[in-house]
Structure 1
């Protein structure tokens, strides 16, 4: 048994994405399992015990728990190719990823003991700073002229460190404002800029590779404008200023991009359609934000958390599932084909996003919508994980390296 476990661990060390995706997958399952239990309990009118206020733990874990590990796994694998530098050694990246994983486990365990929250965030912040330093070292060592995407990722990582620092202050002091700032920075400073940078670089590339007649479109102004708007939105939120104008600009660009990248044509290839359909949620989320902003200007409550969950569950989580599936298949030596399981799990996750948004728009069925979202999420994530997570400790099927 020990030899088997050792062999599997060694396999996870063959490429950064293996360990990063496996560790991220573990936290993905656990984070959603805890959230699902809370949602199902709410549906039944039960308040499940938690040492940390559930909303606070949910906001932190869904922002900083699993996404960063997937990001590290991807950027340490693909990033060196972007920059023309050597890949980091496992002696360097493995402690970073394992430290972040351990921190994430402690944060989730803080539902039973609040002391674990601070220790978990300390570990995650320390690991993240080391991960940021490793990525910056790669950028500084590169002589490639086009470093736009690499630097945008670095910017997101740096703001992520700021967010984690504020989260630690929240854990130590209990200050709500620190938690709120940490989550907002995580969404608009870390997650959205990184997802935009990777989408801008990879979706047109993948589309041109998979479709017979396709002209990639990815102007630099697109990324500068959207990331700039995301950061401006973060500032406006900090000063409690209505974000209508910024949201309208972002919605217009993102919805146009969905059309320009040809969502309809992408359905010729399922694996490609998964990327495009996930990206479409970004424009929908910002359009919902515009509607909510207008309602608030006229004294109404707005659309609640509908825009936020369209962005986080629709864009971030669906894109994560689509992108990680593609990278996993390609780097495990398997054909780039979305089989029935991946395709089904992906659309179940789309259903999670839709149910969560509908629950905000229709308060009369909110509890039921929460239960539906929670149930779909667990079926999708557990089914996907059962098949894909073992690939990270298995040898490539084509006998190749990595």
Structure 2
């Protein structure tokens, strides 16, 4: 359904809806942080924190978190039947995130002190965003609050993991592994899955009864995964196999109409199919690593985060951008090719891990995978930034 859109755009169109500035910031950060990480990983520049920690923090809290906030600031009022967020409130949070991102990128290169200030700024914005969503949850009069509870709950784990990262980085580094595990599974994955299980069946006109225990079951299993990893690295493989089975069976029960001729739908379906595959590969590689010396260079988390979270981010981000700008809710050839390219990014990163497991030199393939990531975000920006910034109408 095409949304109503005024042709009389004001001069501040860029800030007229929450998702616009936050999406632009997230996509610019996706490009810049990956370039800096590539240069640091290859030894061309030296960072005040490890390249791995920079990579994790940059993607989790400078890319995915602004994208999440932009999406939820736009959709959560609809989910909760509450008033839209005031412009001055979300602009304030955006401004803090903007300066926090700049300070983090500069501080990581030139000054640990600036980097520490940046961590606090970005955390403040993240925490404030969580409180805004919590206020909407607390004031809603809706009776069925299950889905919005899990969205808010997982955002809370994002704040917790963010806090643990800062404590680990500044005071106590052994906390870093726990911060990473919580952020990957109880924040990035659980929040995205909570939204997906609500919206994808609805968009796909799937009429099967809702599994009210699904998110609770997934949360318990994810918690056991984190606990086992805290006890002994790679010991979570049984839980990964169970998660693959539980979520795979649920996706089959939904009877998603795939393959689907509508790219705006099949990109969402593909992202969901990566979930059981990601957990299965995670279980398999963790088991192999447990009984051998073979290491797979984080294949499990990259398959899950890129295959599912990244892919559905592009799908939902494109859908929201089109639907809230007065453009037709349909994917042209350019957009469709971008959706195909998301899978190139995922597959290339999986190949990097597999090559590393064989002990071969990964640098050429690593460069190709990073280039694929950069091209994805650059071409998406070329296509959609003019929509987000100025409300332009797209032509096929």
TM-score calculated relative to the size of structure 2: 0.89
Is 1:170 aligned to 2:163, yes or no?
no
Is 1:392 aligned to 2:388, yes or no?
yes
Is 1:203 aligned to 2:200, yes or no?
yes
Tell me if the contact between 2:103 and 2:118 (Cα under 8 Å) persists in the aligned partners: yes
Tell me if the contact between 2:40 and 2:46 (Cα under 8 Å) persists in the aligned partners: no
TM-score calculated relative to the size of structure 1: 0.88
**Which consecutive residues of structure 2, in runs of 5 or more, have no partner in the other structure?**
1-8
Residue 3 of structure 2: aligned partner:
none
Q: Note the C-alpha offset of 1:354.
A: 0.9
Residue 6 of structure 2: aligned partner:
none
Structure 1 residues 369 and 295: CA distance shift in structure 2, 3 A: same
Residue 33 of structure 1: aligned partner:
35
- Figure out how many residues of one structure are paired with residues of the other and give that number: 381
* Cα distance in 2, alignment partners of residues 32 and 264 from structure 1: 35
Residue 99 of structure 2: aligned partner:
102
1:3-402 to 2 correspondences below 5 Å: 10-38=12-40, 42=42, 46-113=43-110, 114-173=112-171, 175-208=172-205, 214-216=206-208, 218-240=210-232, 242-262=235-255, 265-301=258-294, 303-363=296-356, 364-395=360-391, 397=393
**Which consecutive residues of structure 1, in runs of 5 or more, have no partner in the other structure?**
1-6, 209-213
Q: Note the C-alpha offset of 1:307.
A: 1.1
Q: Note the C-alpha offset of 1:345.
A: 2.0
Structure 1 residues 217 and 372: CA distance shift in structure 2, 3 A: farther
* Cα distance in 1, alignment partners of residues 246 and 90 from structure 2: 36
Tell me if the contact between 1:36 and 1:378 (Cα under 8 Å) persists in the aligned partners: no
* Cα distance in 2, alignment partners of residues 249 and 9 from structure 1: 52
Deviations 1:354-398 (A, max 9, x none): 111111112325222211111111111101111212212223759
Tell me if the contact between 2:189 and 2:305 (Cα under 8 Å) persists in the aligned partners: no
* Cα distance in 1, alignment partners of residues 184 and 53 from structure 2: 14
* Cα distance in 1, alignment partners of residues 61 and 181 from structure 2: 11
Q: Note the C-alpha offset of 1:201.
A: 0.5
Cα-Cα RMSD: 2.2
**Structure 1: 4+ residue segments shifted above 6 A:** none
